[in-house]
Amino acid sequence: MIYRESGQYKTSYLNDSQIFPIKQDRYAVLAFIAFAFLAVPFIATPYFFSAILIPFLIFSLAALGLNILTGYAGQISLGTAAFMAVGAFAAYNFMLRVPGMPILLAFILGGVCASIVGIVFGLPSLRIRGFYLAASTLATQFFVVWCLTKVPWFTNYSSSGVITAQEVKILGFHFNTPEEKYLLVLAIVCVMALLAKNMVRSTVGRSWMAVRDMDVAAEVIGFKIMRTKLTAFAVSSFYCGVAGALFAYCYVGTVEPDAYNLDLSFRILFMVIIGGLGSILGSFLGAGFIVLLPIVLSYIVHVTGLPNSVTSNVELMVFGALIIFFLIVEPHGLARLWQVAKEKLRLWPFPH
Amino acid sequence: MSERKIGDVILKAENISLSFGGVKALTNISLDVREHEIRAIIGPNGAGKSSMLNVINGVYHPQEGTITYRGEQRKDMDTNAAAQSGIARTFQNIALFSGMSVLDNIMTGRNLKIKSSFIEQALWIGRARREEMENRKVVEEIIDFLQLQHVRKTPVARLPYGIKKRVELARALAAEPNMLLLDEPMAGMNVEEKQDMCRFVLDTNDQFGTTIVLIEHDMGVVMDISDRVAVLDYGKKIGDGTPDEVRNNPEVIKAYLGAH
């Protein structure tokens, strides 16, 4: 009953192409964002910030990046963590070597470096696709981590290969506590999600989806396949790069190249698949699912009082089973489930 | 139909030969298309009709021959150049972007008209937003024209076949083409859908003066709506002329009805 769009007439095309065309959605999202900015800092505990909210937001951003490439442009990538590593280490080096470098600019430049690497490693996509492309992006993964480990300049000749992220300071304000870092990450993620949404509802997004769905037709219509694919790689890697920098600066603090391993790439790929390919919202839902599930599971298993060795294995098994379950029941991910629920709600309680 | 002004030749393909490995798809075909006319290409299955369209808009590159489009002669077309110079097409097997809505599909047809960079689009400012709205307006006119209002926001994958064909035509029209290549626009349709489609093709030709090159199997349709018909068989052109001339051409009769 409350979720009705009757009476909401769109009188201009601008009106009709809003991000949330239905009024209730718009208010709900605004309320949710306001809640995240204004209320959450007062109610959440430091553990909640640093173990759940911050990683959730950072992984959402990385998943968003991968979703642009895989979900929207249809190019499978297993190199997400590598692009994150490039972003993190580039930001670190900019901060280290350029005096007075503002941190936000360092994050952006980190993203730009990741973009450049993304474009270079995206070149094979012009010739190969599908699993073969996935295999070639795997090369990115190994090459970048190897390179960061082998060239000590990147880690500022640190003997253990570990970098410690510099203090996060914007206009004299220090982001030290988890709460402050949370707010910074939240702001960045909100802005970047908005930009991504704008891209996918404009021509650039349509060009990605066109190449994904039918590349011959896309070419005949006038899209340039090469430019489209490389733009997708660049934008996607930019998002992953910024996520990687945030991962280092706002989440773990001290980081080695190996933190950005293949395992992380796969985790982000799972987030995208479970959340929903080709959906901005799906990136967030998927990240939430993957971040929260182990925590919830370990809590449940913990309550049962089984020995530790059993619990960690049970956790893994349930996790795997749930992923398979989701893929079978809803291959289009959580975002699709959400959409179905909304469509049902529009008619509720009179389904006919 | 006779009151329409048919102009000069705007596309001229000369001595086109195309082969894939040892298979000859087209042999020494010459074909011209005049401005504003409806030009049909017919022929039995595997005669090379679709290959001919693919040569015209640059999907295939012929080994021999030249193509002159609007006074510019070249060895082969390039898909992008073809799109830039106003050639749009539909495909035999629907080639829509199945994950997108009808509206988005048609909007893709406008892509060459959009000049803003992806950064402007990401920020949704000034030019990007203005272009989006201007092009949306044109797209809405096409939606009206092809009577697709009711499915505007529906994902293409959910639509029935006949509507999909119409969406594909809409996407091609969105580019405001000078020349429209239609690859079997009425294949697999029932009589009513065929009538609708015929009307849309004729209206397009009438209202926008679009030159139309059409491949079709339904002889009734072809003979009714086209100005000139070319007949291909085994990659060779065996007849060309007005529908009446073609109908009485002994070679064509032989190809269609078998030897007598």
The pLDDT tens digits of the residues spanning B168-195 come to: 999 999 999 999 999 999 988 899 999 9
Asked if B133 contacts B126 with a C-beta cutoff of 8 angstroms, the reply is: no
Nearest partner of A115 among A150, A88, A86, judged by Cα = A86
Overall residue count recorded for chain A in this entry:
352
Note down the domain range covering A207: 20-260
CB atoms closer than 10 angstroms to residue B139 = 26
Phi and psi, residue B13, nearest 5°: -100, 130
**Nearest CA-CA distance, residue B236 and chain A, Å:** 25
Q: Tens digit of pLDDT for each residue in B228-258?
A: 999 999 889 999 999 999 988 888 888 877 6
Assigned domain for A151 exists: yes
Nearest to A196 by CA among A60, A330, A55, A83: A60
Measured CA to CA, the distance from residue B225 to residue B212 in angstroms comes to: 11
Q: What is the rounded average pLDDT for all residues in chain A?
A: 90
B50: helix, coil or strand?
helix
Structure token pair of residue B193: 């859908």
Residues in contact with A254: Cβ distance below 8 Å, sequence separation at least 6, in sequence order: A162, A163, A164, A165
Residue A9: count of CB within 10 angstroms of its CB: 8
Identify from B93, B97, B103 which residue to disrupt to test chain A contact, counting A C-beta atoms within 10 A and taking the largest count.
Answer: B97
Choose the mutation target among A17, A72, A203 for the interface with B, i.e. most B CBs under 10 Å: A203
- Give per-residue pLDDT as tens, A63-72: 999 999 999 9
Percent above pLDDT 90 for chain A: 57
Least trusted range by pLDDT, from A4-18, A97-111, B72-86, B168-182 = A4-18
Q: In what helix (H) or strand (E) does residue A80 lie, and over which residues does it extend?
A: helix A80-97
Q: Is A340 near chain B, with CB under 8 Å?
A: no
- The domain segmentation of chain B, as residue ranges, is 9-86+177-257, 95-161
Question: How would you classify the pairing of strands B23-34 and B9-20?
Answer: antiparallel
d(CA A93, CA A77): 26
Residue B228: per-residue pLDDT: 94
Domain membership of residue A116 (yes or no) is yes
pLDDT of A158 > 90? The answer is no
Q: Are B214 and B39 in contact (CB under 8 A)?
A: yes
A229 within some domain: yes
Using a CB-CB cut-off of 8 Å, the residues of chain B touching A221 are: 83, 88, 108-109, 111, 171, 175
Asked if residues A29 and A157 have their Cβ atoms less than 8 Å apart, the reply is no
Q: Do B121 and A199 touch (CB under 8 A)?
A: yes
Give B208-227 pLDDT, tens digit per residue: 999 999 999 888 889 999 99
With the CA atoms of B238, B240, B242 and B245 taken in that order, what torsion angle do they form, in degrees rounded to the nearest 10? -40
| Residues 219-278, chain A, touching B (beta carbon < 8 A) | 219-224, 231, 235, 278
Tell me which residue has tokens 């930009």: A195
**B126 contacts in A (CB within 8 Å)?**
none
Q: Which helix (H) or strand (E) holds B183?
A: strand B179-183
State mean pLDDT over B101-116: 93
Q: What's the number of domains chain A is made of?
A: 1
Class of domain B9-86+177-257: alpha beta
B233: which DSSP letter?
A: E
Closest to A213 (Cβ–Cβ): which among B97, B118, B175? B97
- Is pLDDT at B2 greater than 50 in this prediction? no
Q: Is residue A282 part of a domain?
A: no
Which DSSP string do the residues of A285-300 spell out, in sequence order?
HHHHHHHHHHHHHHHH
Mean pLDDT of A316-338: 84
pLDDT surpassing 60 at residue A1: no
Q: Is residue A332 part of a domain?
A: no
Two tokens, residue A196: 């991504």
Residues on chain B bordering chain A, Cβ-to-Cβ distance under 8 angstroms: 57, 59, 79-80, 82-84, 88-89, 91, 95-100, 104, 107-112, 114, 116, 118, 121-124, 128-129, 132-133, 136-137, 140, 171, 175
Amino acid in position A212: R
Q: What is the pLDDT of residue B3?
A: 53
In a domain, A301, yes or no: no
d(CA A182, CA A49): 7
Under DSSP, is residue B212 helix (H, G, I), strand (E, B) or coil? strand
Whether A217 sits inside 8 A of B140 (CB atoms) is no
More confident residue, A31 or A160: A31
B64 φ, ψ (degrees, to nearest 5): -135, 160
State pTM to two decimals.
0.91
CB count within 10 Å of CB A19 equals 13
Residue A201 has pLDDT above 60, yes or no: yes
In this complex, the residue of A204, A210, A224 whose CB is nearest that of residue B80 is A224
Q: How many CA atoms lie within 13 A of A54 on its CB side?
A: 28
Q: Is residue A283 part of a domain?
A: no
Pick from A248-252, A326-330, B155-159: least confident = A326-330
A101 CB-contact burial (10 Å; exposed 0-12 / middle 13-18 / buried 19+): middle
pLDDT at residue B1, rounded to an integer: 45
